Amino acid sequence: MPALSPTMTEGNLAKWHKAEGDTVESGDVIAEIETDKATMEVEAVDEGIMGKILIPEGTQSVKVNELIAVLLEEGENDNDMEALINGGDTPAAPAQQEATKAPEAPKAAPAPAPVATKSGNRIYASPLARRIAADKDIDLSQVTGSGPKGRIVKADVEGFTGASPAPQASAPSTAQKPAGDQKVNEFGMVYTEMPNNNIKKITAQRLQESKQEVPHFYLTIECQIDELMRTRKIINEQAKGEYKLSVNDFIVKACANALKAYPAANVSWTDDAVRHYVHADISVAVSTPNGLMTPIVTQAENKGLKEISAEVKELAGKARDGKLQPKEFQGGTFTVSNLGMFGIKEFGAIINPPQACILAIGAGAQ
């Protein structure tokens, strides 16, 4: 498992683009990894044959540097691969060795379940299967997996006869019967769950830490933007559809100019020193289906409105598609968060650590 960002300690293996036996060329996309910031493509750095996939797609919380697959180079065979696996840190080897030592395992239908779905202490199960098992107090090590490579899926857990009826018994007798993926809590309230991905978890963790540890104070001012709106209209008319500036593009440029005029705001705090940054790298808050992202317009003080507008649109699109590269969202010296399009007059934004400032923009009004 590669470390795709400085803060990454684990990731979710979202998808494999290569199967066992496939030829792999250097530069081929072999997998998609969900990090704490985005879903990113992983490219092969060598060529060879995909010998064995050790971590199936859909597996969550895979530690950085854990062995996820083996690529066979020319001249290498299965014996070389098994020697690598058995001599490495992957937990798959003990489970495989136990499987070969137990002659009765192939004869009994339920016996392969622990070996097929477990690797050392790891149990391979889909996120939905894990949630259902937790709600029903089911031990996943006792469930037979029917998914790829013995992975436990929703149907396996729902069809498990050893499930404890305790959660259902604790609900009031007058509670509604849930339909589909609906559940009932201890008060008889029907609800559904949307699992949190790594992006949302890390965003919540970092912003909670920021609010608790950084001494926030807020200043509010109203700005007359008649001239801004007039200038924007003139420029957009002259562009004749080639591009279209938004109010936010002007704000990004204004922030960059302000940071150059007042460099004491273009800083970050460390225990040893306050870092004063040479350039105004403006982070722009973007809401995406996977969570909040803050792609960066680098050296915004040196860019014109047209260039800033095009860059913001491109970065926002990549953020929503989960295609941002680490260099496009890591860093930044100042953040702009604009909720004006929702009619919000003003709000208190949370500082994006380790930055010192964030600008919260509300709606314009006549």
pLDDT, tens only, 179-223: 778 888 888 899 999 888 888 888 888 899 999 999 999 999 999
pLDDT of residue 177: 64
**Spatial separation of the C-alpha atoms in residues 149 and 226, rounded to whole Å:** 63
**Spatial separation of the C-alpha atoms in residues 267 and 255, rounded to whole Å:** 14
CATH number at residue 154: 4.10.320.10
Cα 245–Cα 247–Cα 253 angle in degrees, nearest 5: 85
Inform me whether the pLDDT recorded for 350 exceeds 70. yes
Q: What is the CA radius of gyration of the chain?
A: 26
pLDDT of residue 147: 65
CATH number at residue 286: 3.30.559.10
- Structure confidence by residue, pLDDT tens digits, 67-81: 999 988 877 788 878
**Spatial separation of the C-alpha atoms in residues 118 and 110, rounded to whole Å:** 14
Number of H helices, E strands in the chain: 11, 19
Q: Is 346 found in the same domain as 241? A: yes
Q: Is 128 found in the same domain as 243? A: no
Q: Which of 90, 120, 143 is the last residue of a domain?
A: 90
Mean pLDDT of all residues in 336-364: 94
Q: Is 217 found in the same domain as 185? A: no
182 falls within a domain? yes
Domain that holds residue 311: 199-361
Q: How many domains does the chain have?
A: 3
**Spatial separation of the C-alpha atoms in residues 70 and 49, rounded to whole Å:** 9
Q: What letters, b where the CB count within 10 A reaches 16 and e where it falls short, cover 152-170? A: bbbebbeebeebeeebeee
Range in 41-55, 106-120, 168-182, 299-313 with the lowest mean pLDDT: 106-120
Cα→Cα distances 127→250, 273, 366, Å: 43, 43, 49
Q: Is 357 found in the same domain as 234? A: yes
pLDDT of residue 90: 39
Inform me whether the pLDDT recorded for 40 exceeds 60. yes
Q: Which of 140, 158, 191 is the last residue of a domain?
A: 191
pLDDT of residue 339: 95
Q: Is 208 found in the same domain as 160? A: no
pTM: 0.56
110 vs 254, more confident: 254
Start-to-end CA distance of the chain, whole Å, equals: 54
Q: Is 351 found in the same domain as 214? A: yes
97 falls within a domain? no
pLDDT class for 254, splitting at 50, 70, 90?
Answer: very high
Range in 144-153, 177-186, 191-200, 247-256 with the lowest mean pLDDT: 144-153
Q: Is 145 found in the same domain as 45? A: no
1 falls within a domain? no
3-state secondary structure of 208: helix
H-run or E-run covering 235: helix 226-239
Inform me whether the pLDDT recorded for 96 exceeds 80. no
pLDDT of residue 105: 41
Q: Which of 90, 125, 146 is the last residue of a domain?
A: 90
85 falls within a domain? yes
